[in-house]
Amino acid sequence: MNEEISRIKVLSDAFGPSGMEDDVIRKAMQSVPEQYDTKLDTMHNLYIVPKEKKDGCAILLDAHCDEVGFIVQAVLANGTVRFLPLGGWNPVNVAGSAVKIKTENGFVSGIVAAKPVHFMSEAEKKAPISFESLVIDAGTSSKEETMALGIVPGCFIVPDVTCEYIEKQRIFKGKAFDCRIGCAALLQTLHSLPETSNTVTGVLTVQEEVGERGSSLAVQNIKADVAICFEGCPADDSFESPDMVQTAMKKGVMLRAFDCSMITHPAFQKFALDCAEKADIPYQVAVRKGGGTNGGIYHLHDIPTIVIGIPTRFAHSTAGFCSYDDYLGAVRLAREIIKNINQNVIDSFRHVVM
Ligand SMILES: [Zn+2]
């Protein structure tokens, strides 16, 4: 199996809900090219800094390394566990799934239990599922038994899913492609930098899913002229009518023009689209009525930012799909931008055009 495919699998499998990303960071550090130093801040954002600075512009590559997950709130008398979501979840996608709980003594397996149909009243069958109606069962029968496994309030939880590459369809099935597929694209871009006089720095940011908290700290420690945020962005092609699809899997990289956190700088967006056109990289432009990215933080700190998304089916669910070719396109586009951008282009972002 090639190195990139194994890296994607390792990163997808890594344990990294918002606030407990260390396993992802450790695995990413093993994949940092030799020409880079790494450092961490107190939140554990990982800065990947080139040993050698060049004279061109400073380009920041960002991807968030956290995934949506859960946190233990309380252990109940019957041994089941009440929990809260970390990041945005639809509770319907959580009920019935297998999870992994990280304790001081290692991982414990659990199942998110909703009341089985046999025990539901007619009214309960019609009621919407909420987190209040879900518990995690670790196969125990008392609070003491559960706590003896190391499960206590504050333990972090993620879906128990193992990533696989389905070669025939050139897709991955697994968890956390939002944004581990972006982390993989960032690392691969650093491994395959084009000839350039620009200085390229990477940052794997924590806690994006709970409100861009990692990038809010990272931006204070970084000096950059422009930023590229890689995202494992939600694909809508299996839900939307064909006319309205903004982000389809296997249709190329997504360049986000608009979401709730940022209106992408039109000149930077155009520059990126031109790069994609010239290099024959398939792309799609997305205007999203929801969502947000770390771009929302960087652009408010005078760092023009574009978002390169790798469409991910069922983001913020226990498992999803993403396409290897969309990933390869994201790396190629980032390389084209790094190769072609210069101070004149960046200066033009300050000009009025009408
Ligand atoms: Zn994301």
In the chain, where are the structural domains located? Answer: 3-67+175-348, 70-159
CATH superfamily assigned to domain 70-159: Peptidase M42, domain 2 (2.40.30.40)
Q: From CA 315, how far away is CA 67, in angstroms rounded? A: 10
What distance in angstroms lies between residue 322's CA and the mean position of ligand 1's atoms? 13
Of 123, 121, 134, which is closest to residue 93 (Cα–Cα)?
134
Task: Categorise residue 285: left if φ over 0, alpha if ψ from -120 to 50, beta otherwise.
Answer: beta
Residue 131 Cα to ligand 1 middle (Å): 22
How many angstroms does the Cα of residue 149 sit away from the middle of ligand 1?
A: 32
pLDDT computed for residue 347 by the predictor:
95
The alpha carbon of 231 and the centre of ligand 1 are apart by a number of angstroms equal to: 5
For position 117, what pLDDT does the model report? 87
Q: How far apart are CA 78 and CA 82, in angstroms?
A: 11
- Tokens in use for 105? 């003594």
Question: Distance (Å, rounded) from C-alpha 57 to C-alpha 190?
Answer: 16
Kindly give the distance from the C-alpha atom of residue 210 to the centroid of ligand 1, in angstroms, as a whole number: 10
pLDDT of residue 116: 84
Predicted local distance difference test score (pLDDT) of residue 23 = 98
What is the whole-number distance in angstroms between the Cα of residue 312 and the centre of ligand 1? Answer: 10
The tens-digit pLDDT sequence of the chain (354 residues) is 699 999 999 999 999 999 999 999 999 999 999 999 999 999 999 999 999 999 999 999 999 999 999 999 999 999 999 999 999 999 999 999 999 999 999 999 999 998 888 988 999 889 889 999 899 999 999 999 999 999 999 999 999 999 999 999 999 999 999 999 999 999 999 999 999 999 999 999 999 999 999 999 999 999 999 999 999 999 999 989 999 999 999 999 999 999 999 999 999 999 999 999 999 999 999 999 889 999 999 999 999 999 999 999 999 999 999 999 999 999 999 999 999 999 999 999 999 977
Determine the pLDDT at residue 114. 85
Q: Using DSSP, state whether 44 is helix, strand or coil.
A: coil
For the 3-67+175-348 domain, the top CATH level (class) is alpha beta
